Amino acid sequence: MDVTEERVTLRELIRRRIHQEVAEFNAAGTAMFRGLVQPSSAERTPDGYRLRPGHRVDSDEQFARAVEAFGRNGFVVLVSGHQVLSLDEEIDLARDAELTFLKLVALVGG
C-alpha cells in the first residue's frame, strides 16, 4: 500500500488497503479473495473467502464492512507495537513505522 503522507487517520489507511485488495482481486479474476474482511456472498475457507467465478467485489461495500468489523474488534491495528483504538486517530507514518493488521478469530468451543 502506497502512502505518501507522514500523518493519516486509521480510517483512511483502511480505505486505501481495502481499495488495493479489491482492485487486485477484481483484476486477477480469481474466485479466492484473501482480504481483511469477508465479502458478502462469499464462503469462508481456510485459504480465504471463496466467491463464485467472475464475481466482482465492491470496494465501497468492503470498506463499510471493514469499518464495522473494526468497531466490533474483528481486527486490530498496531503501529510500531501500539494499538490504534479509534478510526479517527492520526497515525505518524515515519520511515521506520511498522503497520500491522491482526484479524481476530473466535476459538471453537470456548
User: Does any domain span residue 91?
Assistant: yes
Give the number of domains in the chain: 1
Task: Specify the DSSP class assigned to residue 92.
Answer: E
User: Does any domain span residue 12?
Assistant: yes
User: Does any domain span residue 82?
Assistant: yes
Output the tens digit of pLDDT for each of the chain's 110 residues.
Answer: 556 668 899 999 999 999 999 999 999 988 999 999 999 989 999 889 999 988 999 999 999 999 999 999 999 999 988 999 999 999 988 777 888 999 887 777 75
Residue 79 amino acid letter: V
Cell of residue 56, nine digits: 466482482
Distances from the Cα of 25 to the Cαs of 51, 88, 96, in angstroms?
A: 11, 27, 29
> Which of 23, 19, 47 has its CA nearest to residue 34?
47
Residues of the domain holding 13: 7-103
